[in-house]
Amino acid sequence: MPRFVVEADGGSRGNPGPAGYGAVVLDPATGETLAERAEFIGVATNNVAEYKGLIAGLTAARELAPDATVLVRMDSKLVVEQMSGRWKIKHPDMKPLAARAAKILPRAQVTYEWIPRERNKHADRLANEAMDAGKRGEQWEPSRSTAFAAAPPAGPPGDAAKGAAAVRAAMASGGGTGTRAAAAAGTGADTLFGATDAPSGDAQARAAEAAAVRAASAVARDTDTLFGAAEAPAEAPAGADGTGPRPAAGSDGGHATRTAAGTGTGTGTGTGTGTGWGPDMGAPATFVLLRHGETALTPQKRFSGSGGTDPELSPAGRRQAAAVAEALAARGTVQAVVSSPLRRCRETAQAVADRLGLPVAVEEGLRETDFGAWEGLTFAEVRERFPDDLQAWLDSPKAAPTGGGESFTAVTRRVSAARDRLLSAHVGRTVLLVTHVTPVKTLVRLALGAPPESLFKMELSAASLSAVAYYADGNASVRLLNDTSHLR
């Protein structure tokens, strides 16, 4: 009697949102892929997509051999427990799907096993390929799939460490053209069952060369940052050379001037030749940094910190919040939402969280600088009324705004402590932090190891997205800065 392993997965970018599934049938003796299935299914929940992936996998196994015994492996605890009969099926959307899955093969022929997500990479990649195809207005095509040839990164999109590891594996050799590791990478060595037997002689060399190309191509894809390509810096605005007068860091209008998408240097003590090319540290924690939408003070470029009136979003700000919510739902990577306690951030965060189906947690350490007596004033008004205090503030991070405001040194301590708390609470996860100009710039500055004066050299628009990845060895990588493409 034939024996198969079915691995299935499903996902939804929004839950509910654009959804797709993937399933693969494997030979348990050799690890050979016998069949792949994937489909974009429109708007659905994660659980619906997972069940449809199960149905597709079981159907593919039955088409290969109706009398086969099948071990189903999924990272959905819900589906595994329900189909094993240990959990009741209460949700009305799940009942008909579970019943349909149960009828595909006799119950005695099918068993279920839960596996961690990192062991379900093949099916996960198929599901993501299906969702990507749906985003393009297409359906998944087997001929365009790379799920077998290149395993996906273990971390969120933008984790270049796994892509780099794939290249290192593909290019490792014992000398000459011997690239057994590369051949393994090209034949699905990262699957549960390991590499198939490598060909010998010229055939091995050709297979290894093709595998290296596929692995390098996978890296090119996986090196794409969370929200933009690492190798393509964002277009710098006029005056990006940093010359001319310096506007106020932390004023509600943002400030000049240089963007550096995708740059990243280590701030810890990790070894290796550089972030992304050293030892594989596993999935990083990725903080997606969202500056709140506009308030009435934003277009007027007035200081608006935590010591002022706590304004609400303007109509333009609410539109911006809705736009970024749609963009993040389409990307489907955010797993938690954390907000500054100030109203403009909480309103922005709630708009996104509602779209993603997530709760909003509040972190006090993400609030904006207290600008003291400068709250509500423009930079020119502060310069006219408090010229000496302003100059001292521009010259030293230890100087506080007039009237008992916070220095940048104090803000850095507060934001650093909040960062560390959040990293401890969200290991390996992608978290949206909805905050303000100074906290975002401070997190970017610290990740780059840049001096305090760099706060005056970054542009940060209302409702813009930035991203920083934090690795287990203490290194950090800036993935994105001031992305506003979702607002255009």
Q: What are phi and psi of 479, to 5 degrees?
A: -100, -25
CA distance 330 to 135: 8
Q: What share of the chain is helix, strand, coil (3-state, %, to 5)?
A: 40, 20, 40
Q: Which helix (H) or strand (E) holds 20?
A: strand 17-26
CA distance 146 to 161: 19
Cα 453 to Cα 216, 223, 408, 442: the distances in Å are: 38, 30, 10, 11
Cα 158 to Cα 229, 267, 422, 469: the distances in Å are: 9, 19, 20, 9
Cα first-last separation, the chain: 58
Q: Which of 36, 294, 363, 368 is catalytic?
A: 368
CB 406 within 8 A of CB 370: yes
Radius of gyration of the chain (CA): 25
Please tell me the total number of residues recorded for the chain in this structure.
488
368 is catalytic: yes
Q: Which of 292, 294, 363, 459 is catalytic?
A: 292
486 is catalytic: no
Burial degree of 106 (CB within 10 A; 0-12, 13-18, 19+): exposed
Q: Which residues pair with 466 in a beta bridge?
A: 289
Q: Quick check: helix, strand or coil at residue 280?
A: coil
CB 163 within 8 A of CB 150: no
Question: Tokens 């701030």 sit at which residue?
Answer: 267
Residue type, 470: Y
Catalytic residues: 292, 368
